[in-house]
Amino acid sequence: MVSLHVVAWAAQVAAFQPKESAHCLQWQTGVAPQRLRVEGGAWGPALCRQVGANPLATGFLAHDGRCIPIATGEDEEGTGDLPAADKGIELATAHPDCEVWWREVSEDVIPPTPELAMPLWEGGEVFRSGGLQLGLCRSFGSPATAALDGGSPRLGHIALEGPEIGRCRFRADRPKALIGGLFHILQARPMATPCSQDPSEAARLRKKLLWRVEHFLGQEEQELLERVVGGGSFVQLLEGTAALDSCQLQEVLSASRFVLHPLNSLGLHLLRALLARRMYEARLARGYASHPDYKRWLRDGLLIKDLDDPALGGDQGVLELLRMVSGEDSEGIPEKLEWQQRNVTMQEADPQSQIHIDTFAPIVKVWVFHDPPGINMSQAQGNCGRMPCFLDVDLLGRKLQARW
C-alpha cells in the first residue's frame, strides 16, 4: 500500500534543472590554488584535474602538488598552504562574478539536491555520465560518516537525477554511498546584478501592486491589518509602498521571504503575506471547486490518499490533486510523475517536527509513504502525533492552530 500526504508547495521528484552557472567554475593552468568556502566558515580542497581530462576526473590538490582524482577514493589532506600544482594539471577557480561554495546537506533532507547545486560542465554544456547529470559532493568526515570515509572528508560524485538521485559516491566501483545527506554539495550562482532605477518600471510595478490590493483585499482585511499592526493606517502603508522606487517595488512583488524596510512597522510584510493568501484562495476557486476533495482541503488542510485505490486514478489522480491544492493547471506541475524511494528516519530534536513557517506565502508539501517496507495507513496517520501534519496559521496573527 502507498499513501499520499498532501500537506501545506506541490513537490515532485523530477530531473534536476541546472541554473545558469556554467561559467562560475573555471579551469586554468598556471594559477594559484584556490580553496572553496564551506558553509560554517571552513574551507574545502582546491579542485584540480589533468589537462584535457573530462569532469569525472576531478580531484583535489594534495600537498605534494599531485592531483588526486575522486576515483582513487583517497582522503583529503590537511587544510594548510598548498604548493603550485604539478605540470599538466589545471585548477578550478571561481569566476569573480560568481559565488561558488560547498553547502551542507543534512541527513534526511528532501529533496537531497539543493536548487543551486552545480552540475559538472564541459565546454559550456552540462556533462552527462550515462545520460544523467552529476555534481560534486564532499563527505563530512565525521563519526557519522566514518564507515564510508574513514572519518576524513572525501570528494565524490552525486547523482542529480535518475534512480541514484541524491547518492554521494566516492568510488564508482563501490556500491556504498551516502544517501540523502551527511555531505556537502558544490553550489554556484552568479552574483546579483545591481538594480538600476527606472521610473517607467516603477510606474508599471506600482500599477500591478495597486491592482492586486483593489481586487484581493477588501475593507475587512484592511481594518484587520491596522488592528494587528496597532499603529498607523492602511492608507499610509499603501501610499508609502506605492512611492517606493522600481528596485524596492520589484523586491516587494518578488518571492523574497522577507523585505527589510522601515515600512514593516506599518505592516509591509503582513501586506505581502495577506495578498499572497488571498491570491492563493482566488486561484483555488478558479475552476477547482468541483474537485471532490476541494471542501475537505479548505476545511482541514490535510489529505491522505491510498495510491492503490482505483478511485484515486493513479498518477493522473495525483496530478489532479496537485492542481487542486496549488490552484495551478500547469505552473509547477510536472507532465508526469517519477517516484524515487528514500529511506527517511525520525531524528532526535528534528526541527521539521516543530511548528514553523518557512516563507510568507502559502505552500503545499507532499509526503508519500511506501509499504512494504515502510509504514501502512494506520501508522501514517498515527505519525501525526509526532509531527505536525498540517499547520493553519492566520497570516495576520489572529489564530494559530496545529492539527495533529
| Residue in this structure with the C-alpha cell 565546454, named with its chain if needed | 123
* Short-list 155, 157, 119, CA closest to 24: 119
Q: Where a domain ends, among 164, 190, 216?
A: 190
Instruction: Evaluate whether 367 touches 282 at the Cβ level (below 8 Å).
Output: no
Rounded alpha-carbon distances, angstroms, from residue 27 to 21, 33, 263: 14, 11, 46
Task: Note whether 118 and 261 are same-domain residues.
Answer: no
- Mean pLDDT for 345-366 is 68
Task: Note whether 172 and 145 are same-domain residues.
Answer: yes
Task: Note whether 70 and 38 are same-domain residues.
Answer: yes
The model scores a pTM over 0.75: no
Q: Which domain holds residue 124?
A: 25-190
Task: Note whether 358 and 234 are same-domain residues.
Answer: no
Mind listing the pLDDT tens digit for each residue in 13-52? 334 455 667 788 889 898 889 999 998 778 888 999 988 8
Q: Where a domain ends, among 284, 303, 320?
A: 284
Mind listing the pLDDT tens digit for each residue in 223-239? 999 999 988 899 999 99
Task: Note whether 68 and 172 are same-domain residues.
Answer: yes
Mind listing the pLDDT tens digit for each residue in 254-304? 988 899 999 999 999 999 999 999 998 898 888 888 899 999 888 887 788
Q: Where a domain ends, among 284, 299, 319?
A: 284
Would you say residue 392 lies in a domain? yes
Number of domains in the chain: 3
Task: Note whether 260 and 307 are same-domain residues.
Answer: no
Average pLDDT of the residues of the chain: 79
211 or 52, which is more confident: 211
Per-residue pLDDT at 109: 61
Per-residue pLDDT at 390: 34
DSSP assignment, residue 210? H
Task: Note whether 212 and 120 are same-domain residues.
Answer: no
* Short-list 154, 160, 166, 181, CA closest to 58: 154
Which residue type sits at 101? W
Query: For residues 246 and 275, what is the distance between their CA atoms, to the nearest angstrom?
Result: 19
What grid cell was written down for 155? Answer: 570528494
| Residue in this structure with the C-alpha cell 475552476, named with its chain if needed | 287
pLDDT at 111 over 90: no
pLDDT at 68 over 80: yes
Task: Note whether 86 and 226 are same-domain residues.
Answer: no
